[in-house]
Structure 1
Amino acid sequence: MWQEDERCSEVVDLAWKRFFPGNPMVQVEGKIKECQAKLKQWSRTSFGNITCALKEKKEQLRQAKQKAIKDGTMETVNGLKWEINGLLIKEEKMRKQRPRALWLQEGDQNTKFFHNKASYNIREIELRN
């Protein structure tokens, strides 16, 4: 999801261009830490909490629909619908990425997490048939 936002590469470039004194490994470590901090900060400001944003936009849409009934203008309603659609796409992408992040975090070991995941998938297939 981040890679689709053009500002992501700008944040990485700016963080990576920062100078860190020391040998090359210390410099790389500093650049990675700086990049991590800047990406976290950028993510919070650019994406924030999508669930809360969706809730707010839906409430704004409800109010805009009521106002549109009185005024007869649908511009605000249509704009809010586009914004909500964009937030829903972002939310869906985040939900798809979450299991991948867990997989990377837990590693490829025979853990309880993976056993439960595999058992769940087998039950789901059996229920479909």
Structure 2
Amino acid sequence: MWLADKGCGETVEGVWQISYDGVENSKVIRKIENCGKELTNWSRSNFGNIRHELVKKRKELARAEQQAVRSGNSFQVVHLKKEINTLMGREERMWRQRSRFTYITEGDRNTRLFHSRATQRKRRNCIKNIRNQEDKMCTDQEQIAATFVEFYKHLFTSSTPEMNSADLDSIP
């Protein structure tokens, strides 16, 4: 999420350009520590709490929409909608990154969290029953498979097939 903002790179470059006294190893460690502190401060000032920002911007949008109805000027509404879309994109990236981080830290270990997530995904991806064309419930895996095959055969089959020789002549 941070990398999408150019201020992140500028913050990192600024910290790494500062020279420190001492042994090379200690210089690198100090730069890493200072980089972490500066990025934290930068994040607070530039991003803040995205959820709170979204709530605030949505309230502003509601007020701006009411104002636009009265005045007929919708410039502020368009501007706020763009800001909300940007914030929603940031929030989406944040949650995606958090879920990956959780999986990376917990996924390789034999934990309850890992097994519950895997079981939940299996349940969500499994089709236990389905209604066929005659509106009968199919629960057997072979019946479910046959129902899908029959549905797509019917979907992709023409009800009035015509063979036109002119069509076939144009195919090399």
**Residue number in structure 1 paired with 2:16:** 16
**Residue number in structure 1 paired with 2:91:** 91
The structural deviation recorded for 1:123 is 1.4
**Residue number in structure 1 paired with 2:114:** 114
> Looking at both structures, which has the greater relative contact order when contacts are Cα pairs under 8 Å and sequence separation is at least 6?
1
Runs of 4+ in 1 over 4 A off after TM superposition: none
Deviation track 1:61-105 (CA, whole Å, cap 9, x = no partner) reads 111111111111111111111111111111111111111122344
Taking only the aligned residue pairs, the percentage that are identical comes to 39
Structure 1: 5+ residue stretches without partners: none
Q: 1:107 to 1:27 in 2, by over 3 A?
A: farther
Deviates more, 1:76-85 or 1:106-115: 106-115
Q: TM-score, normalised by structure 2?
A: 0.69
Indicate the SS of the match to 1:22. coil
**Residue number in structure 2 paired with 1:59:** 59
Q: Number of residues paired by the alignment?
A: 129
- Considering only aligned residues, what root-mean-square deviation do their CA atoms show, in Å? 1.7
Highest CA radius of gyration, 1 or 2?
Answer: 2
Q: TM-score, normalised by structure 1?
A: 0.90
Please give the alpha-carbon distance, in whole angstroms, between the structure 1 residues aligned to 2:109 and 2:117.
Answer: 12
Q: State yes or no: 1:3 paired with 2:3.
A: yes
Please give the alpha-carbon distance, in whole angstroms, between the structure 1 residues aligned to 2:21 and 2:113.
Answer: 42
Please give the alpha-carbon distance, in whole angstroms, between the structure 1 residues aligned to 2:127 and 2:21.
Answer: 60
Q: Which amino acid aligns with 1:14?
A: G
Q: Point out the structure with the larger helix share.
A: 1
Structure 2: 5+ residue stretches without partners: 130-172
The structural deviation recorded for 1:127 is 4.8
**Residue number in structure 1 paired with 2:40:** 40
Q: 1:11 to 1:114 in 2, by over 3 A?
A: same
The structural deviation recorded for 1:128 is 8.1
